């Protein structure tokens, strides 16, 4: 039996639910349409990377730490993140939750998380 994958976020390690981790890079695209029916399409390069996964908090303290990290990014604080490939990034939270209790005494939680890369110099 293998352990579930782990990620590093804001000085804490978290277990992730198997099969929920994904990373995406998207190209940005802008279009200009004039009244003369001309259309111009510009590729704007790569959009910031995005990650989504489900964190499994084994204690309520881990949920408190994760919530604290989420709160930090509401004030433009970038967080250190290392994904499953051990690649280092600076990120912001896009969303977190809702948390779902995994046991009757509500000590373990399953929390969906979405992150996006903080732009360089941002």
Give phi and psi for 67, each to the nearest 5. Answer: -65, -40
Instruction: Classify residue 95: in a domain, yes or no.
Output: yes
CATH classification at residue 55: 2.40.30
Tens digit of each residue's pLDDT (9 = 90 or more) over 26-35: 655 455 555 5
Tens digit of each residue's pLDDT (9 = 90 or more) over 49-105: 899 999 999 999 999 999 999 999 888 789 999 998 888 999 999 999 999 999 998
Instruction: Classify residue 68: in a domain, yes or no.
Output: yes
pLDDT beyond 90 at 46: no
- The domain total for the chain is 1
Domain that holds residue 109: 6-117
Strand partners, 13: 8
Which of the four pLDDT bands, split at 50, 70 and 90, describes residue 108?
very high
Instruction: Classify residue 33: in a domain, yes or no.
Output: yes
């Amino acid at each position: 039996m293998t352990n579930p994958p782990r990620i590093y976020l804001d000085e804490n390690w978290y277990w992730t639910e198997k099969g929920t981790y994904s990373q995406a890079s998207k190209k940005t695209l802008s279009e200009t349409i004039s009244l003369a029916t001309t259309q111009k399409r510009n590729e704007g390069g790569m959009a910031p990377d995005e990650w989504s996964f489900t964190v499994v908090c084994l204690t309520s303290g881990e949920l408190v730490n994760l919530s604290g990290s989420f709160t930090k990014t509401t004030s433009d604080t970038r967080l250190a993140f290392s994904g499953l490939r051990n690649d280092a990034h600076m990120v912001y939270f896009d969303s977190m939750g809702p948390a779902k209790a995994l046991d009757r005494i509500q000590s373990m939680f399953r929390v969906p998380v979405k992150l996006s890369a903080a732009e360089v110099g941002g």
